């Protein structure tokens, strides 16, 4: 009985510790001790609806053609993150990427030709360009002075105390405890039961015309495909995109491209009268000087999204990567 008690204590104590230590969870995942809870897609991970349990395609096909003498700087979102598109898929050896929403990203420019691609999913385009030009990258002089550590002040200490949070993320416990296939089966029973009888899904996702999409795309707000966007706002987005291009060209980039990846939901409701047609209106705006890398037409022609994921499949990804490589080769 005593031994059982101590074993239980060890097991539950360790599980509790995992919820508080991201490093430990990452270490377990890196060493293959935890299953990747995104393996069936981000939308499946949230909804657990059995109909959408399809393994996410792994599609890192390296680029085999001649490399272009151009550096690619990519400010992208989850569509182009390292786990999804790797650096060897591009037609260049000189590659730098940061998350498009990160601010104040310090950047040293390399010698020679260089292009900047700003890739953003449709749902976040307005957040990034409606109010001001995108200028999140700070170009630093080569080998600039190292910033000194912030000196100690009582105000800073007070602020640190006020802002201190006990480290814990429920998400990590979810990953550790509930992402194995047998447990997912039980989660599917719950999800299917609630969807079938009550039309209830996880609040972050919706089933739209038989496809799983983010609720963020449909719920009222700036990210919604139904949120009316005035011509003035479109003109403002275009003006800010042009200003972004001018700014980064002035800093040494040879060209700056905008690439808007359509929402999965937009392609499903593009015939609806209430759809705001954001991608087409920006891309086709007569005053847009910033060149675009567009996948809209290709994505309208065919479904290039994964079943349980909000991102493109391998074929969709290839269309975009080919388009980027084409621009690289052209310089």
Q: Is there a contact between 122 and 278 (Cβ–Cβ < 8 Å)?
A: yes
168, 252, 277, 322: residue in contact with another protein (rule CB under 8 A): 168
- 222 counts as binding another protein under rule CB under 8 A: no
54, 61, 177, 222: residue in contact with another protein (rule CB under 8 A): 177
- 203 counts as binding another protein under rule CB under 8 A: yes
- 152 counts as binding another protein under rule CB under 8 A: no
Two tokens, residue 316 = 């969709």
Residues 6+ apart with CB under 8 A from 94: 70, 71, 72, 110, 112, 114
| Helix extents (H) in 90-148 | 122-129
Neighbours of 9 (CB within 10 A): 10
Two tokens, residue 226 = 């139904």
8 versus 140: smaller Cβ distance to another protein? 8
Least distance from another protein to the Cβ atom of residue 8, Å = 6
175 versus 244: smaller Cβ distance to another protein? 175
Strands 205-208, 211-214: pairing is antiparallel
Q: Taking the alpha carbons of 37, 38, 41, 44 in that order, is the dihedral positive or negative?
A: positive
- 161 counts as binding another protein under rule CB under 8 A: yes
165 versus 271: smaller Cβ distance to another protein? 165
3, 5, 141, 271: residue in contact with another protein (rule CB under 8 A): 5
How many angstroms separate the CA atoms of 134 and 274, rounded?
Answer: 28
Q: Taking the alpha carbons of 173, 175, 176, 182 in that order, is the dihedral positive or negative?
A: positive
166, 220, 230, 286: residue in contact with another protein (rule CB under 8 A): 166
- 198 counts as binding another protein under rule CB under 8 A: yes
Two tokens, residue 314 = 């391998």
Q: Which stretch binds another protein (CB under 8 A): 83-91, 101-109, 165-173, 296-304?
A: 165-173
Q: Which stretch binds another protein (CB under 8 A): 33-41, 84-92, 199-207, 229-237?
A: 199-207
Site of interaction with another protein (CB under 8 A): 5-6, 8-9, 12-13, 15-16, 19, 161-162, 164-166, 168, 170, 173-174, 177, 189-190, 193-194, 197-200, 203
């Amino acid at each position: 009985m005593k031994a059982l008690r101590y074993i239980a204590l060890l097991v539950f104590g360790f599980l509790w510790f995992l919820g508080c230590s991201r490093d430990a969870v990452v270490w377990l995942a890196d060493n293959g001790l935890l299953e990747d809870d995104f393996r069936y897609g981000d939308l499946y991970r949230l909804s657990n609806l059995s109909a959408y349990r399809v393994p996410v395609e792994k599609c890192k096909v390296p680029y085999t053609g001649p490399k272009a003498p151009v550096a690619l700087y990519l400010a992208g979102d989850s569509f182009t993150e390292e786990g999804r598109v790797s650096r060897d898929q591009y037609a260049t050896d000189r590659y730098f990427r940061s998350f498009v929403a990160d601010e104040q990203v310090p950047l040293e420019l390399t010698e020679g030709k260089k292009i900047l691609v700003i890739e953003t999913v449709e749902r976040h385009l307005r957040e990034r360009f409606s109010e001001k030009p995108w200028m999140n990258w700070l170009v630093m002089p080569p080998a600039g002075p190292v910033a000194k550590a912030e000196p100690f002040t009582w105000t800073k200490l007070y602020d640190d105390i006020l802002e201190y949070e006990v480290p814990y993320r429920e998400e990590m416990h979810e990953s550790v405890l509930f992402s194995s296939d047998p447990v997912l089966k039980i989660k599917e029973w719950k999800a299917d039961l609630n969807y079938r009888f009550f039309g209830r899904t996880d609040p972050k996702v919706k089933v739209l015309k038989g496809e799983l999409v983010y609720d963020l795309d449909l719920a009222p707000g700036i990210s919604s495909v139904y949120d009316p966007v005035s011509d003035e706002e479109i003109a403002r987005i275009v003006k800010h995109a042009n200003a972004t291009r001018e700014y980064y060209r002035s800093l040494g980039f040879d060209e700056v491209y905008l690439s808007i990846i359509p929402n999965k939901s937009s392609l499903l409701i593009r015939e609806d009268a209430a759809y705001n047609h954001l991608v087409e209106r920006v891309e086709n705006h007569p005053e847009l000087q910033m060149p675009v890398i567009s996948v809209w037409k290709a994505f309208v022609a065919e479904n290039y999204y994964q079943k349980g994921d909000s991102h493109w499949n391998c074929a969709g990804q290839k269309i975009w990567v080919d388009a980027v490589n084409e621009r690289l080769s052209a310089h």
